[in-house]
Amino acid sequence: MSDSKALPEFIEACRLADVPPGGSLKVDLAGTAVAIVRTAEGVFAIRDACSHADVLLSEGEVEGCTIECWLHGSQFDLRTGSPLTLPAVVAVPVYEVRLRGEGDATVVEVASSPTDFSPGSNAVTSQAATEEL
């Protein structure tokens, strides 16, 4: 019996050029709303719903490796989905991201399932894609 885990499948989400630097883009990923966020530290994917109320995170402010919910101001770490400030206390799912292609043709691909941070998982942060941002 093998203890290796299957690699997540990746789904094409958008072109990198469609995501503004320091901003985000709402995409539909097989029926799930996901915010693709482009920062100086990489490209991240986080479910596009605040865990405090059903508000789009893609409409919030991006600062460093965080996105701030526009309604009550909770900030979420884009690497883990964890809330850094109140009132939110529950993490938002994040997804591994990878970039494919070059230049204007670069495509953002997102894992089809969220990163597993449960005990026993070896995930530390959701991987950020970091090519030429």
Binding site for ligand FES (CB under 6 A): 50, 52-53, 55, 69, 71-72, 74, 87-88
Toward ligand FES, which CB reaches closer, 11 or 55?
55
Cα separations in angstroms, 63 against 9, 83, 88, 99, 123: 29, 14, 17, 21, 23
Neighbours of 2 (CB within 10 A): 4
Nearer to ligand FES, 52 or 79 (CB): 52
Shortest Å distance, C-beta 123 to ligand FES: 24
Nearest-approach distance from CB 61 to ligand FES, in angstroms? 12
**Minimum distance from residue 133 beta carbon to ligand FES (Å):** 26
- The answer to whether 66 and 85 are in contact (CB under 8 A) is no
Closer CB to ligand FES, residue 72 or residue 100? 72
For 28, other C-beta atoms within 10 Å of its C-beta total: 10
